[in-house]
Amino acid sequence: MINSTDMIESPSPDIDCSSVDHHASIPILLVVFLVLLILFTIAGNILVILAVACNQHLRMVSNLFIVNLACADLLLASAVLPFSATWEITGNWVFGRIFCDVWAALDVLCCTTSSICLCAISIDRYIGVKFPLHYPSIMTKHRVLFMLLAVWILSLLISIGPLLGWKEPMPPNSTECHITEVQEYAIFSAAASFYIPICIVLIMYICVYVVVWHQNKCLKKGIELEHFSREKKAAKMMGIVMVIHFACWLPFFIILLIDSLIPEAQPSKNTFKVIFWLGYFRSCLNPIIYPHASRNPPPPCRLLLNTFAFRHRNFLCSFDVDASMDHDGRKPKTQ
> Kindly report the CA angle at 197 between 195 and 203, in degrees rounded to 5?
105
Q: What does the alpha-carbon distance between residue 280 and residue 286 come to, in Å, rounded to a whole number? A: 12
Who has greater pLDDT, 11 or 202? 202
The pLDDT tens digits of the residues spanning 262-313 come to 877 777 888 888 888 888 998 888 788 776 554 444 444 444 444 443 443 4
Residue 129: name the closest of 222, 213, 231, 248 by CA.
231
The pLDDT tens digits of the residues spanning 78-114 come to 999 999 999 888 888 888 888 888 998 999 999 999 9
* Count of residues making up the chain: 335
> What is the structure's pLDDT at 90?
86
Question: What are the start-end ranges of the H helices in 178-222?
Answer: 183-190, 196-218
Based on the number of CB atoms within 10 Å of its own CB, is 79 exposed (0-12), middle (13-18) or buried (19 or more)? Answer: middle
Please, are residues 287 and 317 in contact by the beta-carbon 8 Å criterion?
no
Total Cβ atoms within 10 A of residue 106:
17
Residues with Cβ within 8 Å of 263's Cβ and at least 6 positions away in sequence, in order, are none
How far does Cα 182 stand from its chain's mean position?
A: 25
Q: What's the mean per-residue pLDDT of the chain?
A: 76
Question: What are the start-end ranges of the H helices in the chain?
Answer: 4-9, 13-54, 63-79, 81-90, 97-130, 135-138, 141-159, 183-190, 196-218, 223-261, 269-281, 286-292, 299-307
The pLDDT confidence band at residue 231, using thresholds 50, 70 and 90, is: low
Res 26 pLDDT > 80 = no
Residues with Cβ within 8 Å of 45's Cβ and at least 6 positions away in sequence, in order, are 70, 71, 73, 74, 77, 283, 286, 287
Phi, psi dihedrals of residue 61, rounded to the nearest 5°: -60, -40
Who has greater pLDDT, 1 or 100? 100
CATH architecture of the domain 26-166+183-315 equals Up-down Bundle (1.20)
